[in-house]
Amino acid sequence: MCLADLGPVLDVDLRAGTAQVDLAGVVREVSLAPLVLDGRAVAAGDWVVVHTGLAVELMDEAAAAEVVAARAAVLGTPGGARDA
């Protein structure tokens, strides 16, 4: 089974090729390598899909909002946050 998460980029470290991403309230450092190798620039405020510590896709804010709303509806939690 493949699981991915979605969150906004808080900060980018271009030298390290990483970003700090807010994943449902937990800030994680993720690699931007897949996006950079694809020629895509990532900046603070962008939304990314993260899988196994890699930012694998950029999403616009409207699409991200739809995913967050759908997750909240399915999980029955505000903003799509996971129950621990």
Identify whether 71 is part of a domain. yes
Print the domain residue range for 12: 5-76
Based on the structure, what is the number of domains in the chain?
1
Q: Does residue 81 surpass a pLDDT of 70?
A: no
**pLDDT digits 0-9 by tens, 58-74:** 999 999 999 889 888 98
Strand partners, 12: 19
Identify whether 82 is part of a domain. no
pLDDT value of residue 84:
37
Identify whether 81 is part of a domain. no
**pLDDT digits 0-9 by tens, 9-60:** 999 999 999 999 999 899 999 999 999 999 999 999 999 999 999 999 999 9
